[in-house]
Amino acid sequence: MTGRQIWKPGNMLYPLPVVLVSAAGTNGEQNLFTVAWTGTVCTAPPMVSISVRPERHSYHMIRESGAFVINLTTEDLVYAVDYCGVKSGRNVDKWKEMKLTPLPGEKGPAPLLAESPVNIECSVTEVRELGSHHMFLAQVTAVHAREEYMDAGGKFDLAKANPIVYSHGTYYSLGKPLGTFGYSVRKK
């Protein structure tokens, strides 16, 4: 067995999903920004979280409107994912610059990203001010899935969309499936 180094405490939970979060301000302004600190919180009711620095341009939009949309990302969106993570909506219209299409949401003011395979509309239930980031806990109010990613049986096939993840400053494609839930105990 090889040796190990001991590092100072830090977030080493990688890879992470990398998503584009869309938000709308109470004044009608819309923005899109990249978030890698997101995750599932609860099944019933369906809940998710995103962690956002208060300095981010969209932070006040989410805080004021109480809503946001998590848009899953793909290999086709990786350039926009990076751009939306390094450019501020204070200075540039990311929708326009990246030629992305906002669609009206069904349940809240935040727009859906038309180019995303899945859009998850969320309603904020709590904001936890944790330090450098504030965590928005939110209930899922609607999920939109593009029909082109459905298989013959009507099941959503995310692999067709070529999803991406983020790890230590690098974007990766997910690659091939390795197994399905329960395959290790299935009778042969």
Q: Sketch out the chain's domains with CATH numbers.
A: 16-173 (2.30.110.10)
Mean pLDDT, the chain, integer: 94
Q: Where are the beta strands (DSSP E) in 12-133?
A: 16-17, 19-24, 30-35, 38-42, 47-52, 67-72, 102-103, 112-113, 118-129
| Confidence (pLDDT) at 1 | 73
Q: What is the pTM of this model?
A: 0.93
26 vs 69: which has the higher pLDDT: 69
Split at pLDDT 50, 70, 90, the class of 107 is: very high
Split at pLDDT 50, 70, 90, the class of 188 is: confident
Q: Tokens in use for 38?
A: 């997101």
| Confidence (pLDDT) at 131 | 95
Instruction: Using the predicted structure, report yes or no on whether residue 171 has a pLDDT greater than 90.
Output: yes
| Confidence (pLDDT) at 159 | 84
Instruction: Using the predicted structure, report yes or no on whether residue 90 has a pLDDT greater than 90.
Output: yes
| Confidence (pLDDT) at 8 | 87
| Confidence (pLDDT) at 25 | 92
| Confidence (pLDDT) at 104 | 96
Instruction: Using the predicted structure, report yes or no on whether residue 96 has a pLDDT greater than 80.
Output: yes
What would the pLDDT profile of 120-152 be if each residue is shown by its tens digit? 999 999 999 999 999 999 999 999 999 999 999
User: Which three-class secondary structure state does DSSP give residue 125?
Assistant: strand
Q: Tokens in use for 94?
A: 């990311």
Instruction: Using the predicted structure, report yes or no on whether residue 75 has a pLDDT greater than 90.
Output: yes
Distance CA 143, CA 145 (A): 7
